[in-house]
Amino acid sequence: MIMIKHIHWENKNKEQGGILGLKRDEATNKVTIASLRGNALPVEFLLSILNAGLKEGWEKEAEKLHLSRKNPWLVSRYVSTSGAEDYYLTVLSNPVWKYVYNTAHIHISMYGKLNEDLNLWLGDIPPLLNEILKNYNSSEPDYIYAYTPTLNEHEFIPPSTPSGLLETIESIKALKTLSNN
């Protein structure tokens, strides 16, 4: 089952806000967070967004998945000269050959914002978020509201379909001509 939530957030004192989409595929435990509208999310709101968008107890489920990991792991933080930060979750998959690879990544802009979508396995969130929370104070936006979007996609008109405006204008002209005769 795929769960989709929209999360509206606002931070009035800094005049920031936006709408995020949060999707969780319960079969694969993949979590995606995408900015749908507004400002990039300040990283200090990430925990609040996860709490609002995921089911209660998500942290315990995520930690349980993390503990089921088969390979040693570490989280690395790289800070660029601009001040942007990248957090990488790396696993040691073959100790004999010293083969490692990155399984997850979170980028934080030099302004402390999440300006890239997040695509993570739920079990990769705990070690990454833990490292981020060591460097950023977690806080809540002034306003946060999560809801399940509902709409009927069949009511939407396909792209490249004429609007009907030209036909309506022609009808109006024809009616004027008839009324003048």
Residues of the chain with pLDDT > 70, as a percent, come to 99
Q: Is the pLDDT of residue 77 over 80?
A: yes
State how far the alpha carbon of 27 is from the alpha carbons of 30, 109, 154, 177, 181, in Å: 8, 31, 27, 63, 69
Average pLDDT (4-31) is 94
Read off the pTM. Answer: 0.86
- Give residue 181's pLDDT band: very low, low, confident or very high (50, 70, 90): low
User: In this predicted model, what pLDDT tens digit does every residue of 147-178 receive, in sequence order?
Assistant: 999 887 778 888 999 898 999 999 998 888 88
Quick one: which of 134, 132, 150 has its CA closest to 49? 132
